[in-house]
Amino acid sequence: MDFYKKWFWPLLLPSILLFGFVILFPFVVGVLNSFLAWRGTYYFDPETGIRATNLFASFIGFDNYANAFTDERFIRALVYTVQYTLVAVVVVNLVGLGLALLVTRARRGAGLFRTVFFLPNMLGGLALGFIWQFIFQIVFTDILFSPEGLMHIPFLRYMTQDSTKALFALVILNAWQYSGYMMIIYIAGLNNISRDYYEAASIDGATPLRTFRSITVPMLMPSFTVVFFLTLSNSFKLLDQNIALTDGEFNTRLLAMQILRTVKDTAPPDYGKAQAQAVIFFILVASITLTQVYVTKKRELEL
Amino acid sequence: MRKRIVVLLIVLITVSLSAFAGAQAEADKGYDLYIYNSKGENAAQFAEMAKAYEAETGVRVRTFSIGSGQDHMETLRAEMNSRNKPSIFSIQGVKELIEWYQGGFVVDFNSITDASFKALANNISPSLRLTNDGKTSFGVPYNVEGYGYIVDRQMIADLFGGASVDAFIADAKIATYAEWEALVKALDAYIKRNVQATVKLNGKAYVLATAKTGLAKNLNGVFAVMGAEKWTYGDHFINVAVNAVFANPNAAANATDADVEQLRGAFLAYAKALDLKTSYLAGLRGAATRGQDFVSSANFGYDQAVQIFADNKAVFFKQGNWAYGNIAGVNAAQAERLEFLPVKMPFESADIKVAGLTVAKLNSSIPVFVPNYYAINNQVPAAEQKLAMDFLVWLNTSATGKKYIVEEFNFIPYNADPATTTLPNSLGNSILDYIKAGTIIAAPYHGAPATWSGDVVGLRLMERYLTKPNWTAQDYKDIVDYAVQNWQSLN
Amino acid sequence: MAVKPRESVALRGDTNYFLKKRIGYVATYVVLGIIALYTVAPLWFLVTNSLKGQAEIIRDPLGVPRAASFQYIIKATQEIHFFRSLGITFSITFVSVGLIVIISSIGAWMLVRNHTKWSQVIFMAFVAAMLIPFQAIMYPLIQFFDTLGLKNVTGLVFMYGGFGLSMSVFLYHGFVKGVPKGIEEAGIIDGCNIFQLFFTIVLPLLSSITVTVIVLNSMWIWNDYLLPFLVIGNSTTKTLVLELYFARILAGQFGNPWELIFPAVLITIIPIVIIFLFLQKYIVQGITDGAIKS
């Protein structure tokens, strides 16, 4: 025991230093900045109308938070993010699970399909966002779903030009990009389920649907926990695709972009307000993911 | 075996780390003067110019250029926070000035004693100065730019006969809005239904050719418009109307709510002129109408509109002289034949609040303004500030500096004498003609609240109105209300 | 074993069983095929448009290139300084991931082997940090590193080290718990020092989760845009993604230079596609392990 004890601090020091320098210290400074009239390159003094000579002169209490909550754009981004997350979590999960079930059914070529479905995940969001913008604006709008096209579906045209449609456009893009990843996790979960259960069910004459509900779903609970955690936090923090697809136009800003753009909405740039929004964002992300992990873990245990 | 892997890893890490050290040595301070340029399009030429300066003076210049897109301010702030701050940086108008003024990053030229720089600063025309109160001066202009309806002389020749081109352009410049509207409608009928008509400009008659010849055969609409680019109608088009009430950005920046109310008449004229312009659209694949498609950047983005105009599918294209390069890239021959016509709006005399301005003057002028200024950083040592001043004097007064501005950057120099200067591009020369004639207005929309013109009014128009086929009197009124109320609430 | 259920059903005399099964398989493949086409379609547009000029992309974006030309790809390669930026991206990813692996594995090991109040607090802090959005710390972080003189590639590597730490410590922590202490004790008795013990006995036992840590961290570091932009955005050493971004904005103030964007995107993703195809097995294994076993 003593052998490990004397090495505890020396060996942990690099992690603690790195953590302190990169995460903890900037985070604390960030929270402090959310109480100051911070302008990015200087601290503003509301009294003099120019650069503050000391930090206390720039202290404005909870003004940045109050400003954030009275900012129409912030509230809209908040609501939009919640809506997007709800749809995205459901869709990405269903598609991921569906793909996993299909791929595990296929005897030949399963590896090939798995590779193809996973591939988009390896590629960066910004670059692919540009390509998808091109697809929504040209392929969907002018070719596939136009009145002269394959099928006339007005909802699938001009998807980047309306906040509701753009939400689904983002979901389509992210389902395309992340379903393969979730599929991998579900496949592993499915492979972990012992064949014996299915045999027993089959002997009892259970319908496939019944088998799925009574065996597959409960046994996949650990996979659900992981996939929910990943999709939830990914959707909540989504940024690159949002920028590339609509750039926030037509009221399509998600929270991460709203924080980035706050400094562009204001002149001089209100970094203090952006920082306050980021702190609110942190509290939201933390409480939602923790609740989710708690709830699904609890369900896992109950089963 | 495992030990060997560990050793190998350690060696690889050491090698990579020393590679970084090498990379960093490169970025070390090996210069005397650091210029931050936010006009990224001329990055290569800008760097060349810095080399030429070094060759002449021995001062080592480091340039950093970034596109004028959305991130240049973010990067500049990062540079201002860093230990190696730029000595010269760019400011794009009054909107950006406030931040650098509050933060104490700008030098007021009035406080400078250096004789040669003082002479340069004093020579900047008062209307072109970067100022927050009319007295201060914080920037040396990069250049001047202007915009209006671009028209191809050959197109006019094919439509109205080769002999009348000069007269047509001269008369079109001073034509009234009613005449302009009649011209647009006649052209539309001619393009779509071959209706041959006679139009009047400045009271003089011009007859459309009986049969479409030459370039006219390609036409499918009157205007090439970039519906997806909200800055074209939010910033530049509405600026013409703002000119009716505010003579310069400062007047707009210091406007009270009551002053902003005064804009209603001018904004009504703006809404009507925008309605006209967007009712007779040319498209990549045939005539277009307002609707969802018109705000799609895949069909009516910047490149597409340039393409429409360069393919001779439209008669008029509202853009600035900066579009010269884009047009030349698609149709080099056409780029040599371009001229500007003024943007006209149905103003009433009562709409004009600027002393000395008339409807006729406003409708025959084009906006000419400074898009970008060089500012001297107050936070670098005095010696570096001195180097910055010397450089700016050299750039704007020496033969080499001027050559770069005109020939390499394709700029219109802010200190050009229009009587003696000829530029190597048609649109630049057209702007010089307006400067010579004195028919220019300013860019007071720069003084409006930061996001008002583009992200508020422009966005609203794009989302609500450019997608709507027919505009009613109520729509005009709503546009006016929205523009006025948002200016007031953002203030 | 696997044949059993089929037998049992067949024994019940369901003659349509095999036919149904067959139709089921065909349907599975049809659906899979359609989804696979849908998945690769965007990449197909990327490839075809990389061979066209600007005018053709705008006029006929979906068509097969009329006169396919590699000139745009070659031009894009020069424009984004492909080989230089590839090397830089690779070095940054390699060193950052190496740093993360060593520091977090040894840290997690120490956290598990010392069960004290401190070890719990530190572990909780690491885990909680996973929930901090990047936006909440980016501005102070950049300013702080600049004051330290680390607004450069070295600083970038440290930042990645810090950001990658939380998740990696979390993953290793779960795994170290599964390493039987007896093996280590045997090592101690044999006279190993702490480093010998860790590198020759413990780390090899953690190799499967190490693959996971390497895969997950490499993927985001390679594709990351915002952090390199803020840290080394204005230096001559740029990552692939940064080069792509700057090529796009330097090419023109307005409009999209598609004849540059498409081929540039194409060549930036080619290395990662190749790496993926070669290391597929490990990548998939790594993700699975990370998701399931922790």
Instruction: Kindly state the tokens that stand for B324.
Output: 């010269």
Q: What is the mean pLDDT of residues C268-290?
A: 82
Residue C21 has pLDDT above 60, yes or no: yes
ipTM of the complex: 0.81
CA distance B481 to B260: 11
The answer to whether C36 contacts A106, with C-beta atoms less than 8 Å apart, is no
Residue B280 has pLDDT above 90, yes or no: yes
HSE, CB side, 13 Å, CA atoms: give it for residue B363. 26
Q: How confident is the model at residue A248 (pLDDT cuts 50, 70, 90)?
A: confident
The answer to whether C165 contacts A132, with C-beta atoms less than 8 Å apart, is no
Residue B244 has pLDDT above 90, yes or no: yes
Q: Is pLDDT larger for residue B228 or for residue B71?
A: B228
CA distance A240 to A253: 11
Q: What is the pLDDT of residue C9?
A: 46
List, as ranges, residues 210-249 from A with C-beta within 8 Å of C. Answer: 222-223, 226-227, 230, 233, 237, 239-240
Question: B30-144+370-415 adopts what CATH topology?
Answer: D-Maltodextrin-Binding Protein; domain 2 (3.40.190)
Query: At which residue do the structure tokens 């303004």 appear?
Result: B369
CB atoms within 10 A of CB B407: 12
For chains A and C, count residue pairs whose Cβ atoms are closer than 8 Å: 230
Chain C nearest-CA distance from A84, in A, is 18
Residue C47: exposed, middle, or buried by beta-carbon count in 10 A (0-12, 13-18, 19+)?
Answer: middle
Instruction: Kindly state the tokens that stand for B147.
Output: 């915009």
Percent of the residues in chain A that have a pLDDT greater than 90, as a whole number: 41
The answer to whether C107 contacts A15, with C-beta atoms less than 8 Å apart, is yes
Instruction: Kindly state the tokens that stand for B489.
Output: 């609430």
For residue B3, list chain C residues with Cβ-Cβ distance below 8 A.
199-200
Q: What is the pLDDT of residue B243?
A: 97
* Closest CB from A25, A130, A278 relative to C136: A278
Instruction: Kindly state the tokens that stand for A74.
Output: 């912030």
Q: What is the pLDDT of residue B138?
A: 97
Q: In degrees rounded to 5, what are phi and psi of residue A79? A: -60, -45
Q: Is pLDDT larger for residue C10 or for residue B364?
A: B364
Q: Mean pLDDT for chain B?
A: 91
Q: Is pLDDT larger for residue C272 or for residue A86?
A: A86
E strand or H helix that includes residue B35: strand B33-37
The answer to whether B81 contacts C230, with C-beta atoms less than 8 Å apart, is no
Q: What is the pLDDT of residue B26?
A: 46
DSSP designation for B84? S
Residue C188: exposed, middle, or buried by beta-carbon count in 10 A (0-12, 13-18, 19+)?
Answer: middle
Distances (CA, A) of C194 to B277, C108, C168: 78, 14, 21
Q: How confident is the model at residue B54 (pLDDT cuts 50, 70, 90)?
A: very high
CATH architecture of A71-265: Orthogonal Bundle (1.10)
For residue A114, list chain C residues with Cβ-Cβ distance below 8 A.
284
Percent of the residues in chain B that have a pLDDT greater than 90, as a whole number: 73
The answer to whether B322 contacts C54, with C-beta atoms less than 8 Å apart, is no
Q: What is the pLDDT of residue B395?
A: 96
Query: At which residue do the structure tokens 């690491």 appear?
Result: C126
Assign B356 to helix, strand or coil: coil
Residue A302 has pLDDT above 70, yes or no: no
Residue A9 has pLDDT above 70, yes or no: yes
Q: What are C114-161's pLDDT values in tens digits? A: 888 988 899 989 988 888 888 889 888 988 898 888 888 999 999 999
Q: What is the pLDDT of residue B73?
A: 85
The answer to whether C129 contacts A24, with C-beta atoms less than 8 Å apart, is yes
Q: What is the pLDDT of residue C1?
A: 36
Instruction: Kindly state the tokens that stand for B416.
Output: 């050009």
Q: How confident is the model at residue C8 (pLDDT cuts 50, 70, 90)?
A: very low
Q: What are C193-216's pLDDT values in tens digits? A: 888 899 988 999 998 889 889 988
B490 touches chain A (CB under 8 A): no
Q: What are B171-214's pLDDT values in tens digits? A: 999 999 999 999 999 999 999 999 999 999 999 999 999 999 99
Q: What is the pLDDT of residue B7?
A: 59
Q: What is the mean pLDDT of residues B353-381?
A: 96
Distances (CA, A) of C68 to B281, B420, C46, C63, C71: 33, 48, 13, 11, 9
Residue B20 has pLDDT above 60, yes or no: no
CB atoms within 10 A of CB B17: 15
CA-closest candidate to residue B365, choices B177, B128, B127, B173: B173
B122 touches chain A (CB under 8 A): no
Residue B14 has pLDDT above 70, yes or no: no
Residue A258 has pLDDT above 50, yes or no: yes
Q: What is the DSSP string of B93-116?
A: SHHHHHHHHHTT-B--GGG---HH
CA-closest candidate to residue B435, choices B135, B209, B193, B127: B127
Query: At which residue do the structure tokens 């004789």 appear?
Result: B115
The answer to whether B13 contacts C250, with C-beta atoms less than 8 Å apart, is no
| All structural domains of chain C | 15-72 (no CATH), 73-292 (1.10.3720.10)
For residue C13, list chain A residues with Cβ-Cβ distance below 8 A.
none
Q: What is the mean pLDDT of residues A149-160?
A: 85
Q: How confident is the model at residue C7 (pLDDT cuts 50, 70, 90)?
A: very low
Residue C10 has pLDDT above 50, yes or no: no
CA-closest candidate to residue A9, choices C92, B165, B409, C118: C118
Q: What is the pLDDT of residue A182?
A: 92
For residue A12, list chain C residues with Cβ-Cβ distance below 8 A.
107, 110-111, 122
Domain ranges of chain A: 71-265
CA distance C243 to A144: 34
A94 touches chain C (CB under 8 A): no
Q: Is pLDDT larger for residue B24 or for residue A114?
A: A114
For residue A29, list chain B residues with Cβ-Cβ distance below 8 A.
none
Q: How confident is the model at residue B350 (pLDDT cuts 50, 70, 90)?
A: very high
Q: How confident is the model at residue B68 (pLDDT cuts 50, 70, 90)?
A: low
Instruction: Kindly state the tokens that stand for C3.
Output: 């044949």
For residue C98, list chain B residues with Cβ-Cβ distance below 8 A.
9, 12-13
Q: What is the pLDDT of residue B274?
A: 97
The answer to whether A42 contacts B102, with C-beta atoms less than 8 Å apart, is yes
Q: What is the pLDDT of residue C79?
A: 85
Q: How confident is the model at residue B298 (pLDDT cuts 50, 70, 90)?
A: confident
Instruction: Kindly state the tokens that stand for B281.
Output: 């659209």
DSSP designation for A239? -
The answer to whether C58 contacts B303, with C-beta atoms less than 8 Å apart, is yes
Contact C170, C126 (CB under 8 A): yes
Domain at B146-369+433-490: CATH code:
3.40.190.10
Q: What is the mean pLDDT of residues B311-335?
A: 93
CA distance A182 to C59: 38
Q: What is the mean pLDDT of residues B476-486?
A: 97
Contact A267, A121 (CB under 8 A): no
| From-to residues of CATH 3.40.190.10 in chain B | 30-144+370-415, 146-369+433-490
Q: What are B99-132's pLDDT values in tens digits? A: 999 999 999 999 999 999 999 999 999 889 999 9
Q: What are A32-60's pLDDT values in tens digits? A: 999 999 998 899 999 998 999 888 999 99
For residue B77, list chain A residues with Cβ-Cβ distance below 8 A.
40-41, 269
